[in-house]
Amino acid sequence: MLDTIRVKYRISPDPEQLKQWTHRTTTTQTGIRESYIYNPILNNDKVMLKYTYYPVGYDNSPLLTLELSLPKLIYGNNYQMLLSIPTTIAAGNKILANVLYAPILDLAEGVLIRLDMCYNHQVGDAVDDYIRAIGNLDYPHRRTKCHRGEGVEFKTKHITTKFYNKQGETGMIEATGILRQETTI
């Protein structure tokens, strides 16, 4: 199942929209970098969108990124499976078109720069047992990090795989017994 995505576009929000965004200036080794951040919350505080705009990107053209959880956008939670990519994109575009102070974007037209793939293992009361057992595994060429009582992650430079208790993360009774396996690419 798909979860979080980050897509980028070579477009600029209009000046009226940017008035509602938070302006930031940071100093890096290469100079001063200007950015704008906008984090609208939808669906009764269940869905947070993260827009980031750089007037001058790395190739000197404007860069707008959007990060969001697709299942949260569609269902209001991220433990339900998405049924199809085309249906998800159409529904997501319809919702995003109504976001105040944000340019209208087509999810299918953006360049994908982050993708979280996940699977919900239904293990019942054994979630904590699985997490402890997985934490003892030796995963070659990965750094293992155990988060006591929460989960385990295996990291490389570009890919992270995590196992954790989904009910513990969401606090939702509907997620009880789900061992979440999530890979961020």
Q: pLDDT tens digits, residue range 11-51?
A: 999 999 999 999 999 988 878 889 999 999 887 777 899 99
According to the model, what pLDDT value does residue 42 have?
A: 86
Q: What pLDDT was estimated at residue 60?
A: 87
CA distance 19 to 33: 18
Q: What is the pLDDT along the chain (185 residues), one digit of tens a residue?
A: 889 999 999 999 999 999 999 999 998 887 888 999 999 988 777 789 999 999 988 788 999 999 999 999 999 888 888 889 999 999 999 999 999 999 999 999 999 999 999 999 999 999 999 999 999 888 888 888 888 778 999 999 889 999 999 998 888 899 899 999 999 99
Report whether 137 contacts 44 (CB < 8 A): no
Rounded Cα–Cα distance for residues 117 and 101 (Å): 29
Residue with tokens 């200036």: 25
What pLDDT was estimated at residue 97? 96
Distance between start and end Cα atoms, the chain:
13
